[in-house]
Amino acid sequence: MAQRTPVDDDFFMPAEWAPHDRCWMAWPCREELWGGGLAAARNAHAEVAKAIAGFEPVIMLVNDGDVAEAARRCGASVSCQAMPLDDSWMRDSGPSFIIDGRGGLAGVDWRFNAWGDKFLPYDRDALVAERLLERLSVRRYAAPLVLEGGSIHVDGEGTLLTSEECLLHPNRNPDLDRAAIEDLLRRYLGVKAFVWLGQGLDKDETDGHVDNIACFVRPGVVMAVTCDDPADPNHAILADNLARLRKARDAKGRALEIIELPLPREPRYLDGPGNGQRLALSYVNFYIANGGIVMESFDDANDAQARAIVSKAFPDRQVVQLPALDILAGGGGIHCITQQQPRV
């Protein structure tokens, strides 16, 4: 007998702007990744958690030995719960929550391989989704697909936004072609139409996660990152993505309205100006909370402009902008460290 999939039971993934029951996060702990920046990363994660807690409940998952420290840093507004972790990228290691529109909640447990075996070990993070769904007594659908939550974005009306660089990368699902991947996404997320962008940001360790280059703002409207410096490798990458968006149609046959969002003006590097890995900075990597947006600032000349664009796109939500360079030092942003649980 064939394994049942979410669409067999009328489940689908709602948009991120749909009401949330809570937000899940995880506490940074991989010392070889964060190095001397671990304490700063923990403080930055705590600030994000406290900001989101102003809009909706937040639960921080923490390795057992770090619970007291996390609770102290996060404060009373954030609940800290013990769970074995390898690190803090809850968007990618956590489940993708799905609903059936009748009060039912379930979760998709994707196969997690630490972005193509980039960081070892990852056996604890590979079990986070299963353990969390078991803790919630929520039905689990185990998907036969290596996928991270940051590599997809949905509009809640049947359209999925993703990138070729990530989903077709040989370090994820080398035996699956585009058609096979689309078929699994249809069956596990209830989507019908796909908008394929090309590459993600230059030097993005995730191999091109879409949540660093574009997101749905509402049905039919996409916010996309742009770069106006022809000398920047991101200029051609993002111009190609814009061209693809202009040609795309969503599941309802609509052309997409595009809101352009600039990259930070100044490139930043892991080891200081011009040294080491370039950080994949992006303002679009924000978290949509109940009544709010929590987004990055980078002490950059474009911070205020980016906030104004996001505020105009979400007029019914309060925009909170937080310093995020200490999170980006680990390879991701605010969206990468959060996972919404929809309200049913």
- The pair of structure tokens assigned to 30 is 């991989």
Domains of the chain: 6-342 (3.75.10.10)
Annotated active-site residue in 29, 80, 227, 336: 336
Q: How confident is the model at residue 277 (pLDDT cuts 50, 70, 90)?
A: confident
Q: Is 23 annotated in the active site?
A: no
How confident is the prediction for the chain on average, in pLDDT? 97
Q: Render pLDDT for 102-132 as a digit per residue (tens, 0 to 9).
A: 999 999 999 999 999 999 999 999 999 999 9
Cα separation, 27 vs 226, whole angstroms: 31
- Note the pLDDT of residue 271: 79
What whole-number distance in Å separates Cα of residue 4 and Cα of residue 171?
27
Starting at the edge strand found earlier in the chain, the sheet holding 58-62 runs 79-82, 58-62, 20-26, 339-342
- pTM beyond 0.75: the answer is yes
Contact 34, 66 (CB under 8 A): no
Residue range 197-227, pLDDT digits in tens: 999 999 999 999 999 999 999 999 999 999 9
Residue 1 has what pLDDT?
56
235 near 172, Cβ under 8 Å? no
Q: What is the pLDDT of residues 28-70, one digit of tens each?
A: 999 999 999 999 999 999 999 999 999 999 999 999 999 999 9
